[in-house]
Structure 1
Amino acid sequence: MVHTGYNPALVALSIAIAVFAAYTALDLGGRARGPVPGPRWPWITGAAVAMGGGIWSMHFVGMLAFEMGMPAAYDLSLTLISLLLAVAVTGGAFAWVALSGERFAGLLIGGPLMGLGVAGMHYTGMAAMQVPGNLAYSPSIVAVSVAIAVTAATAALWLTFRRHGVWQKLVAACVMGVAVAGMHYTGMAAATFTAEETGAHAAHTAVIAQSQQNLALYVAGATFLILFLAMLASSLDQQRVQMELQASEARFRAAVQAVRGVLWTNDAAGRMVGEQPGWSAITGQTRAEYEGYGWADAVHPDDAQASIEAWNETVRARRTFIHEHRVRSRDGTWRHYAIRAIPALNRRGEIREWVGVHTDITEQREAEADLRESNEEIQRYAYIVSHDLRSPLVNVMGFTSELETTRDDVRAALDGHPQAERIDTEFGEALGYIKAAVNRMEGLIAAILKLSREGRRQFNAERLDMTALLRGVADAQQHQAEAAGATVTIAPDLPWIVADRLAVEQIFGNLIDNAIKYLDPSRPGQVTVTARSAGPRGVCFSVTDNGRGIAARDHARVFELFRRSGRQDRPGDGIGLAHVKALVRSFGGRIEVASELGQGTTFSVTLPRGAATALDEPLVSAPLAAE
């Protein structure tokens, strides 16, 4: 038997190569599963070259560190095969886990595949060794070395595709490098060398030893160069990603500013912490003043308590926060802000912090207040005018009745007069015209009064089962539908909303009545009411018919007071759709029409589901650009 030993310097060098290679492979392989755009195969290839080449280099340097007192050479073809085997198997394992993910089944296949490949590389490299002696292995120790290789490879793959920081990656690389080196030296411990002839020339052995050291340095240098280039590529890519993240963050901040918004963050418990330059800029508060719940001191006293309660409830419920309040500006004025905040989650799905935006809507609220005041003035004016018009109209109606009463006296007075019959006829026609005009004016005044009252009407909001409510509206018009040969269909399971019951019945009663009234007699009438979601806070109800349709030029005019479209062969005064539009707008909704002559009409009414300060939206990870 040959007494063997190791060169401590080369052993240390082999372990360093293994650690460096493991770190490089962890960094490159992790990018194949990260958010880096572009193809992933370059990163898998780089990780395979780094890991496979590094393990092969560690094995080669470890073999050169092996001192057995007799000359050794290496078969070039087997040595290259061992290198290609390490790179190929490592690349295959990386690719498998990259495609299948971190699932146990993927690691269960990829880990043993890489481990067996590493072990195969080691023993192929051992077979490439040419020495003047015999080589034998201990099966039990060989099995231990293979087990170490499989375990180390599985751990390497598991660590490679996990997200971790630099220090975690460095610790993982040290563990992986030491494990790979342990596998190598365990495999070497399984080998027993027996010299065929004794008395090897000392001088020749010394030359071989010196040659081995030089070769080890060349291999290590080349390996470190390859790994350095790989790390340089990784560093450049990291710099590119960082620049993209910075650009993305800059775009995000510019977008916030474009909508006159102020960005702020709170911790997971909902407390304002850290530097908040945006909040400080609008309020003038210092960090000491706004930290925790100090920000509420800048909120209007009438809004502060409601804001804190709504915010605390949202934090407890882990929902998206939507609210509105007034904030004291740096100059002491109060401005209106709309707030929206979402939770930013960590990898475990836990709330890391809250990211919110305050958007200045002062001008919008002032414009809305002016518009409301103008509408109220118009409504008051319409009420006053219509009320005052009724007084002279009553007089006209009274005197018309008086004239009608004296018609017999006039007829008697003109008895025998040659023009008596003509005068009586013209007198009657004039009275008829006056009465028709008075009745028409009475109807118009009543319509104006009705619309003005709707503007001042107080609504009683309640939760409405729209399916049951609209079926009741349709049942009330069943007689008209049967007379017109029409079928009214209400879709099942319509969404619930919160609104005034009577107003909603008036809206859809008018729409269904119009649909029945203006059906095409040449085909069976079909009226259908359906609904769809209109964003997280609204519902769009559609009343569709297959009637005569509305000309495109009249789509906007049908909502005007006293305006009608198409043939005037149906009774009506042109106030129904104007009334509907007024009611819909009073709910904060909108109404639209889509129609084609000869095909039919669809009226779409969008109504809010109900008032809320927070929405039950699913939590989604919203990492910041600084991650």
Structure 2
Amino acid sequence: MSSSGYSPALVALSVAIAIFAAYTALDLGARARGLAGRPALRWLWIAGAAVTMGGGIWAMHFVGMLALEMGMPAAYDLGLTVLSFLIAVGVTGAAFAWVGRAAAGGGAVLVAGPLMGLGVGLMHYTGMAAMRMPGPILYDPALVVASVVIAILAATAALWLAFRHNSVPEKVAAACVMGLAVSGMHYTGMAAATFTAGAAHDHAGPAIAGAQPYLAVGVAGATFLILFVGMLAIAVDQHRIQGELAASEARFRAAIAAVRGVLWTNDAQGRMVGPQPGWAAITGQTPEEYKGFGWADAVHPDDAAPSIAAWNETVAARQTFVFEHRVRAKEGGYRHYAIRAVPVLNDDGAIREWVGVHTDITAQREAEAELRESNEEIQRYAYIVSHDLRAPLVNIMGFTSELAETRSELRATLAGHPQAERIDAEMGEALGFIGAAVTRMERLIAAILKLSREGRRRFEPEPLDMTALMRRLADATRHQAGTRNATVSVAPDLPEIVADRLAVEQIFGNLLDNALKYLDDGRPGRITITAEASGADRVRFAVADNGRGISRNDHVRVFELFRRSGPQDRPGEGIGLAHVKALVRALGGRIDLASEPGQGSTFTVTLPRGPSMERGAPAPLSIAAE
């Protein structure tokens, strides 16, 4: 005898249980993915998802079977009924654990989905086997297969929807798919069964029997209690997450305040919308005044158009915005701000909004202006001093020449005098000392004038083939290298940069000259020039030698004006490396030294790939000892 129908109320209750359980479990399972670093909490969420989903599916199955009006008495084997519950919980837990791994990709759903679907089918037919009726249950194989296929496809689709995104609509859709499909699987499986009347079957364990409606309500009540606890856990976790987000936002705002910055947001098109308290605080603009592109009205007139153009270009390119402009303060006057803004993306890669920070750098720019003015004054002072020193130096040189000419007359006058030879020798020695001092002072004055002129020179950045440039410098030292039994090698394919050609040639020409000058006479000299990228926008050039080396105590000193280290047995005034450092800094770079006595030295020059100053801007050189 086949079934005679279903109770509509219990059928509706079974579907509601399935959907409600699916939503709760999928939400719990999705939370486990982001907890790879907290395994205990991750397994807690997976266990909650397994109990909720497994218990919900089992309850749906139980209520669905109670909804069947068979017209004959039925009971349930306790052992098999409990086993069906454990199967549902265990298999769904395994599926959630697999798909919820932090490293799980899209293919994980293709494993977890069929696993969960097969588990649902196994739970269903185990529950059917737990039924104790007067006659045997017969199955239609085609419908049995169809019910299992429905379960597999539904579980796969639900897990894909649930773990693809974490939005509420996605979870609702996944829960509906899962709940309806589990119900469809159950009722397809029930349609595959034919219940026949006959002699009662023996069963090994105790059976559960009772009034179907009351039993269904009891199962449903227990199930909704489990789901309520699950939803409560979600609410508690959501409250925790909100607390962490609030704390994170407070820390972020404190960090912004610590760097004298203000935070603002723009929409996906780059327009300022909504309340912007940070921007209003520095400009005094009202929301009506700064909305859209109204913020540009607070920007300095000379900076407004470039700011908007650069901002629109960045928005179109979806890149990080880095800029600098002057903003009118609400107290009056303009202040300098450095700007950095980044796009915030949705899960699908679309820009949701822009978050930016204006950092007040007025004090820094004022200090830089004062430093430039101070350097210019030093340059002018050096030029004037060195120029004025030349006048008395010329007089000293002239009178020294006259003394040298009168020396022969004095020698003739003192002929026959017992002290004549001593006087002549002492006079010659004194004239030699005076001549050497005058020559040295002349070289120092010439060096100061050279630095002073460099400080007033205007740089002209241009693309530089650094391999060719370095090879030309190496070729220019070929004779000097040959006399020192040294080789100079240049690495191929050095990165190109944009900089002032003469300044770069002076920097590396000086470094090569120094390397050759201070080689160790006891071994063949070896000098190499190499380069490597330093970040996305800088290049690190290295000039290495196997020469004498420099004591660690003198690593800073060698860059000071008129300061030298080691034995003073080579010509020089101690100005070369000071000049190199000033030029490197003027190009927006830095120079570092690594050296050990007897091992050689490596000078590392880090320069921007592109020009670090406006074309034609004077080089901010400083000849002061640093």
TM over 0.5: yes
Structure-2 change in CA distance of 1:196 and 1:612 (3 Å): farther
| Aligned residues of 1:61 and 1:216 also touching (Cα < 8 A) | yes
Q: Return the alpha-carbon distance in structure 1 between the equivalents of residues 535 and 371 of structure 2.
A: 26
Q: Where in structure 2 are the equivalents of 1:112-261 lying within 5 Å?
A: 112-196=114-198, 211-261=211-261
Distance 1:6 1:439 in 2: 117
- How far apart are the structure 2 equivalents of 1:480 and 1:356? 56
1:473-528 C-alpha deviation (Å, 9 max, x unpaired): 12211222222222223223222221111111111111111112112223332222
Q: In structure 1, the residue corresponding to 2:211 is in which secondary structure?
A: helix
The structural deviation recorded for 1:531 is 2.5
- Residues 217-240 of structure 1: per-residue CA shift (max 9 Å, x gap): 221122111222122222212221
Between 368-377 and 31-40, the greater mean CA deviation after superposition: 31-40
Q: Closer, same or farther in 2 for the Cα pair 1:84/1:197, shift >3 Å?
A: closer
Who is 2:77 aligned against? 75
Give the distance between the partners of 1:593 and 1:295, measured in 2 at CA: 47
SS in 1 for 2:493: coil
Query: What residue number does 1:17 align with?
Result: 17
**Which runs of 5 or more residues in structure 2 are unaligned?**
201-207, 614-626
Structure 1 residues 100, 254: closer, same or farther in 2, change over 3 A?
closer
**Partner amino acid, structure 2, of 1:172:** A
How much identity, in percent, do the aligned residues show? 72
TM-score, length of structure 1 as denominator length: 0.92
2:262 corresponds to 1:262:
yes
- Shift in Å, 1:386: 0.5
| Alignment map for 1:427-576 (pairs within 5 Å) | 427-576=427-576
Aligned to 1:202: none
**Is the Cα–Cα contact under 8 Å of residues 488 and 526 in structure 1 kept in the other structure?**
yes
The structure, 1 or 2, with the larger RCO (C-alpha pairs under 8 Å, 6+ apart) is 1
For the 8 Å contact 2:299–2:326, the answer to whether it is kept is: yes
- Give per-residue Cα distances to partners, 1:110-156, cap 9 Å, x unaligned: 22222222112111111110111232122232233222212211122
Cα distance in 1 for residues equivalent to 2:78 and 2:210: 20
Read off the aligned partner of 1:363 and give its amino acid letter: A
Deviations 1:40-64 (A, max 9, x none): 3322222222111111111011111
Say whether the 8 Å CA contact 2:30–2:166 is kept in structure 1. Answer: no
Q: Counterpart of 1:624?
A: none
Calculate the TM-score normalised by the size of structure 2. 0.92
1:36 and 1:248 mapped to 2: Cα distance? 20
Give the drift of 1:286: 1.1
Aligned partner of 1:620 in structure 2 is none
Q: Aligned pair in 2 of structure 1 residues 496, 453: CA closer, same or farther (>3 Å)? A: same
Question: Aligned partners of 1:146 and 1:216: how far apart in 2?
Answer: 25
Residue segments in structure 1 that go unaligned for 5+ positions in a row: 199-207, 614-627
CA distance in 2, matches of 1:601, 1:101: 47
Q: Deviations over 1:146-178 (max 9, x none)?
A: 222122111221122121322332233233212
406-415 or 112-121, larger mean C-alpha shift: 406-415
> Which amino acid letter does the alignment assign opposite residue 298 of structure 2?
A
Q: CA deviation at 1:92?
A: 2.3
Structure 1 residue 564: deviation in Å? 1.0
Computed over aligned residues only, the root mean square deviation of the Cα atoms, in angstroms, reads 2.2
| Residues 1:306 and 1:317: Cα distance change in structure 2 (over 3 Å) | same
Deviations 1:57-109 (A, max 9, x none): 11011111111121111111111221122222222222333349775643333
Q: 1:482 to 1:436 in 2, by over 3 A?
A: same
Per the alignment, residue 47 of structure 2 pairs with: 45
The answer to whether residue 307 in structure 2 is matched with residue 307 in structure 1 is: yes
Amino acid at match of 2:169: W
The answer as to whether partners of 1:262 and 1:278 remain within 8 angstroms in 2 is yes
Q: 1:381 to 1:139 in 2, by over 3 A?
A: same
1:36 deviation in Å?
7.5
Counterpart position of 1:324: 324
Structure 1 CA distance, aligned partners of 2:3 and 2:555? 102
Aligned positions of 1:389-404 closer than 5 A: 389-404=389-404
What's the CA shift for 1:407?
Answer: 3.2
Q: 1:12 to 1:398 in 2, by over 3 A?
A: same
342-351 or 37-46, which deviates more: 37-46
Segment of structure 1 superposing worse, 3-12 or 233-242: 3-12
2:204 alignment counterpart: none
SS at match of 1:195: coil
SS in 2 for 1:82: helix
Aligned residues: 604
* Alpha-carbon offset, residue 603 of structure 1: 1.7
13-22 or 150-159: which moved more? 150-159
SS class of match (2:136): strand
Q: Per-residue CA shift, 1:438-467, capped at 9, x if unaligned?
A: 111111111111111111111111111222
Partner in structure 1 of residue 619 of structure 2: none
